[in-house]
């Protein structure tokens, strides 16, 4: 019986090989003596290298090999023969092929397409991408070409060590500085006017209209995410802009976010006027829910469904509608911004990373606030509400829960609240002071989830790895309201999703925190200090706030540079119905700086490492008060940062 099984297995393997060799048979094509020929199968949504041939030597790869990374020595001439096994695809190599509009290599079903002879003279990593839409996961349809030796990878990794050392020197020498932006002659006046109620309402109104339109296009527009306004505007444009805005303007997005508006306006019984009586039950928010666990777990849950969310317009529309409804219920329960504080995943991570922002809202002189009896910033007055985020601006020293609604700047009768620009040293010092005072693990886990998923997302969405199929539950199709049934998974697809969910949750909730805890344990032993390991672990976790933010900025850069034509496409054709509102026409995918875009991501990772190591040292210094002990205490965690940066670099250019 076993012999029979073995025989069947061998026959199967032979059958698969025969299938591959039937199309890679060189006798059927023109031969090239001076070029290597690479046979590639294209499918929804990936690539598979079936065989490589040079002269008479042909290497056929086994069919079960998932190879979608091609290694080519520098100077080699290569011709690609491309076959599709499902729908029509195109074949485009960043930098090495003419832009798709000029000469598109199309692989029709049943026809083998062939590229021209390509000379691979520039070393490094280059992406293969299908520039025409072939369905839902097309934006993440990549294979890699490594032109060896991969010098950019080695140089980037080598840079991590001096940058880590420089970070410590910087942390020891930097001087804290901050500027009162409202005192600046022209900028101050402009910012002051931006904090007015009407300016904030104008920004909110614009975003409200845009997000309503996102919901409409999500439900009724093209089921393919890449052709739909909702997906491209939210998950390419908005997502990237928010990551950058956090560093430069902290929670600027929260100022203009439309999600809680309906709830807040209903509770306040008005839009612009100040009401003392709220339309709300006005019940106290449960203390156990007033922390960052809600947003952190919310962000993780969104990540479990991220492949659907960022590719299926209807899922994005349902998500936004759900967030608006939840915000309304929260405001009916309590009129303050508890939805934003304790539930909204975006608000949670924006708040967490805002501690690494150079912008902050703060008071000019805390003594004035202490002396002031009425505390208008808490209680409100005719000019503004008391802080809806339940903060006391007079004692506010960090950005986590300040939603930048500017009620305090309006309600403060003595004009003591201002907008400040901090230099990096001040940012990191404020962060380290916050870190040593921390006593809950909610923000720490937000840091772990965000940091580990930043690298994981890069791996899933921009690499040749096939992990995304698990997360997508192997559903090939897009979905709007009319084709929502295509989302229904089969039991085997569900099983794959559980593997994905387990992997994502394990990495972000347990594996990375465990590595970090080990680092904290070694740090404690190395320094010989009598500080509980948990204290070191908790405090050091805040060093992930700047580092994680820059890893996300690196990811966001790739999103924008690769998909910028899609942004123009959905502006002129928001529903994806073949319209051309602005006469700009539809453009094929055309990455901006295709040769350099991967390398442009590296400086962000290195700056993140620099800030992460600096923050680690400053936190250690706050814990020990001695420079020598601080060095010992920060060393193991800095090594984790160093290794993390190498992993991130390897994922991007390796």
Partner 1 sequence: MGEKLAIFITLLGVSLTLSSVFLVDSKIFDGKFYNGAIVIRGYIAEHGGFEPKIVRVSVGCHEIVFIPLDISQGLAIDAINFDTGVVLPGEAKRFEICFNESGVYTFRNSVPSGPMTPFQIGYLVVEDVP
Question: Helix (H, G, I), strand (E, B), or coil: what is residue 38?
Answer: strand
The smaller minimum CB distance to partner 1, of residues 213 and 244, is found at 213
Tell me if 209 contacts partner 1 by CB under 8 A: yes
Site map 259..298 versus partner 1, x via CB under 8 A: ------x----xxxx-------------------------
Tell me if 212 contacts partner 1 by CB under 8 A: yes
Nearest CA-CA partner of 519 in 388, 618, 616, 415: 616
Tokens of 188: 């101050």
The smaller minimum CB distance to partner 1, of residues 134 and 267, is found at 134
Stretch that binds partner 1, among 84-92, 341-349, 389-397, 603-611 (CB under 8 A): 84-92
The smaller minimum CB distance to partner 1, of residues 274 and 358, is found at 274
To partner 1, the closest distance from the beta carbon of 197 in angstroms equals: 9
Question: Helix (H, G, I), strand (E, B), or coil: what is residue 514?
Answer: helix
Stretch that binds partner 1, among 49-57, 85-93, 143-151, 403-411 (CB under 8 A): 85-93
Stretch that binds partner 1, among 65-73, 121-129, 130-138, 180-188 (CB under 8 A): 130-138
Q: Which of 573, 613, 620, 631 binds partner 1 (CB under 8 A)?
A: 573
3-state secondary structure labels for all residues of 270-308: CCCCCCCCCCCCCCCCCHHHCCCHHHHHHHHHHHHCHHH
Stretch that binds partner 1, among 59-67, 202-210, 405-413, 520-528 (CB under 8 A): 202-210
Site map 436..475 versus partner 1, x via CB under 8 A: ----------------------------------------
> Are the CB atoms for 113 and 81 separated by under 8 Å?
yes
- Cis, bond preceding 68 (omega within 30 deg of 0): no
To partner 1, the closest distance from the beta carbon of 220 in angstroms equals: 5
The smaller minimum CB distance to partner 1, of residues 213 and 599, is found at 213
Cα Rg, the chain, nearest whole Å: 27
Stretch that binds partner 1, among 59-67, 151-159, 205-213, 398-406 (CB under 8 A): 205-213
| Residue 308 φ/ψ region, left for φ over 0, alpha for ψ in the -120 to 50 degree band, beta for the rest | alpha
Q: Report residue 420 CA to chain centroid gap.
A: 27
Nearest CA-CA partner of 242 in 390, 396, 348: 348
575-594 positions binding partner 1, by CB under 8 A? 575-578, 586
Stretch that binds partner 1, among 294-302, 345-353, 393-401, 573-581 (CB under 8 A): 573-581
Q: How far apart are CA 654 and CA 651, in angstroms?
A: 6
Phi and psi for 431 in degrees, rounded to 5? -65, -45
The edge-to-edge listing of strands for the beta sheet with 105-107 is 69-73, 142-148, 124-129, 89-93, 105-107
> Are the CB atoms for 641 and 520 separated by under 8 Å?
no
Phi and psi for 541 in degrees, rounded to 5? -60, -25
Site map 218..237 versus partner 1, x via CB under 8 A: -xxxxxx--x----------
Hey, how many other C-beta atoms are within 10 angstroms of the C-beta on 283? Answer: 9
Q: Which of 40, 105, 113, 133 binds partner 1 (CB under 8 A)?
A: 133
> Are the CB atoms for 582 and 266 separated by under 8 Å?
no
Tell me if 626 contacts partner 1 by CB under 8 A: no
Q: Which of 311, 411, 416, 569 binds partner 1 (CB under 8 A)?
A: 569
Q: Which of 201, 517, 599, 650 binds partner 1 (CB under 8 A)?
A: 201
To partner 1, the closest distance from the beta carbon of 327 in angstroms equals: 15
Q: Which of 175, 198, 276, 374 binds partner 1 (CB under 8 A)?
A: 198
Q: Which of 26, 61, 99, 106 binds partner 1 (CB under 8 A)?
A: 106
Contacts of 328 (CB under 8 A, 6+ apart): 262, 263, 266
Classify strands 89-93 and 105-107 as parallel, antiparallel or unpaired: antiparallel
Tell me if 321 contacts partner 1 by CB under 8 A: no
> Are the CB atoms for 526 and 633 separated by under 8 Å?
yes
To partner 1, the closest distance from the beta carbon of 586 in angstroms equals: 4
How many residues bind to partner 1 according to rule CB under 8 A? 45
To partner 1, the closest distance from the beta carbon of 204 in angstroms equals: 9
The 8-class DSSP code of residue 182 comes to G
| Residue 284 φ/ψ region, left for φ over 0, alpha for ψ in the -120 to 50 degree band, beta for the rest | beta
Stretch that binds partner 1, among 210-218, 282-290, 448-456, 634-642 (CB under 8 A): 210-218
Please report which residue ranges of 438-532 form alpha helices under DSSP H. 442-462, 467-472, 491-505, 512-527
470-499 positions binding partner 1, by CB under 8 A? 476-478, 480, 482-483, 486
To partner 1, the closest distance from the beta carbon of 175 in angstroms equals: 44
Alpha carbon dihedral 385, 386, 391, 393, in 10-degree steps, equals 90
Q: Which of 73, 109, 162, 466 binds partner 1 (CB under 8 A)?
A: 109
Tell me if 45 contacts partner 1 by CB under 8 A: no
The smaller minimum CB distance to partner 1, of residues 284 and 485, is found at 485
Stretch that binds partner 1, among 207-215, 489-497, 541-549, 592-600 (CB under 8 A): 207-215
Positive/negative CA dihedral, 152, 464, 128, 592: negative
The smaller minimum CB distance to partner 1, of residues 304 and 570, is found at 570
Alpha carbon dihedral 144, 145, 150, 153, in 10-degree steps, equals -20
Stretch that binds partner 1, among 26-34, 51-59, 102-110, 362-370 (CB under 8 A): 102-110
Tokens 């904030």 correspond to what residue? 200
Contacts of 378 (CB under 8 A, 6+ apart): 386, 387, 392
Q: Which residues are near partner 1 by CB under 8 A?
A: 86-88, 106, 108-110, 132-135, 198, 201, 205, 208-209, 212-213, 216, 219-224, 227, 265, 270-273, 476-478, 480, 482-483, 486, 569, 573, 575-578, 586
């Amino acid at each position: 019986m076993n012999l029979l099984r073995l025989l069947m297995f061998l026959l199967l393997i032979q059958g698969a090989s025969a299938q591959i060799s039937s199309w890679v048979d060189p006798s059927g094509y023109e031969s090239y003596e001076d070029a290597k020929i690479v046979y590639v199968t294209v499918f929804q949504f990936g690539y598979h290298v079936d065989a490589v041939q040079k002269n008479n030597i042909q290497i056929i790869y086994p069919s079960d090999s998932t190879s979608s990374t091609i290694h080519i020595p520098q100077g080699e001439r290569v011709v690609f023969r491309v076959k599709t096994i499902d729908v029509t695809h195109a074949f485009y190599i960043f930098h090495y092929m003419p832009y798709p509009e000029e000469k598109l290599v199309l692989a029709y079903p049943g026809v083998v397409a062939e590229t021209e002879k390509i000379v691979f003279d520039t070393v490094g990593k280059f992406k293969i991408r299908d520039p025409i839409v072939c369905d839902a996961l097309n934006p993440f349809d990549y294979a890699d070409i490594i032109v060896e030796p991969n010098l950019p990878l080695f140089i980037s990794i080598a840079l991590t060590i001096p940058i880590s050392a420089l970070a410590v020197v910087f942390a020891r020498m930097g001087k804290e500085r901050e500027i009162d932006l409202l005192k600046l002659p022209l900028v101050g006046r402009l910012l002051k006017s931006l904090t007015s109620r009407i300016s904030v309402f104008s920004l909110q109104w614009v975003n409200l209209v845009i997000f309503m339109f996102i919901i409409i296009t999500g439900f009724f527009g093209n089921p393919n995410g890449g052709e739909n306004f909702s997906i491209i505007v939210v998950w390419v444009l908005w997502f990237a802009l928010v990551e950058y805005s956090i560093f430069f303007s902290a929670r600027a997005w929260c100022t203009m976010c439309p999600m809680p508006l309906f709830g807040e306006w209903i509770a306040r019984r008005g839009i612009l006027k100040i009401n003392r009586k709220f339309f709300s039950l006005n019940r106290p928010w449960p203390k156990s829910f007033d922390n960052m666990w809600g947003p952190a777990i919310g962000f993780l849950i969104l990540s479990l469904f991220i492949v659907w969310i960022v590719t299926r317009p209807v899922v994005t529309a349902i998500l936004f509608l759900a967030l608006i409804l939840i915000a309304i219920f929260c405001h009916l329960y309590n009129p303050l911004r508890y939805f934003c504080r304790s539930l909204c995943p975006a608000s949670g991570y924006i708040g967490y990373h805002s501690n690494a922002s150079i912008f902050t809202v703060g008071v000019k002189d805390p003594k004035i606030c202490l002396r002031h009896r009425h505390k208008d910033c808490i209680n409100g007055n005719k000019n503004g509400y008391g802080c809806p985020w339940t903060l006391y601006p007079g004692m506010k020293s960090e950005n986590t829960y300040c939603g930048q609604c500017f009620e305090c700047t309006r309600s403060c009768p003595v004009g003591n609240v201002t907008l400040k620009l901090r230099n990096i040293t001040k940012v990191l010092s404020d962060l380290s002071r916050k870190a040593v005072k921390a006593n809950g693990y909610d923000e720490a886990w937000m840091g772990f989830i965000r940091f580990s998923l930043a690298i994981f997302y890069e791996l899933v969405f921009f690499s040749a790895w096939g992990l995304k199929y698990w997360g997508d539950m192997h559903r090939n199709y897009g979905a709007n309201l009319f084709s929502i049934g295509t989302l229904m998974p089969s039991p085997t697809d569900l099983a794959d999703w559980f593997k994905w969910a387990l992997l994502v949750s394990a990495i972000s909730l347990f594996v990375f925190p465990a590595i970090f805890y080990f680092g904290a344990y070694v740090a404690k032993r190395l320094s010989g200090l009598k500080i509980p390991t948990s204290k070191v672990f908790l405090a050091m976790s805040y060093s992930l706030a700047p580092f994680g933010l820059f890893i996300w900025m690196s990811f966001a850069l790739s999103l924008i540079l690769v998909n910028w034509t899609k942004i123009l496409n959905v502006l002129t054709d928001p529903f994806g119905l073949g319209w051309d509102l602005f006469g700009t026409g539809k453009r094929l995918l055309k990455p901006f700086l295709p040769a350099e875009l991967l390398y442009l991501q590296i400086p962000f990772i290195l700056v993140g490492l620099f800030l992460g190591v600096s923050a680690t040292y400053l936190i250690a210094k706050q814990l020990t008060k001695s420079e020598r002990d601080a060095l010992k205490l920060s060393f193991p965690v800095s090594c984790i940062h160093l290794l993390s940066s190498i992993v991130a670099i390897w994922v991007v250019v390796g």
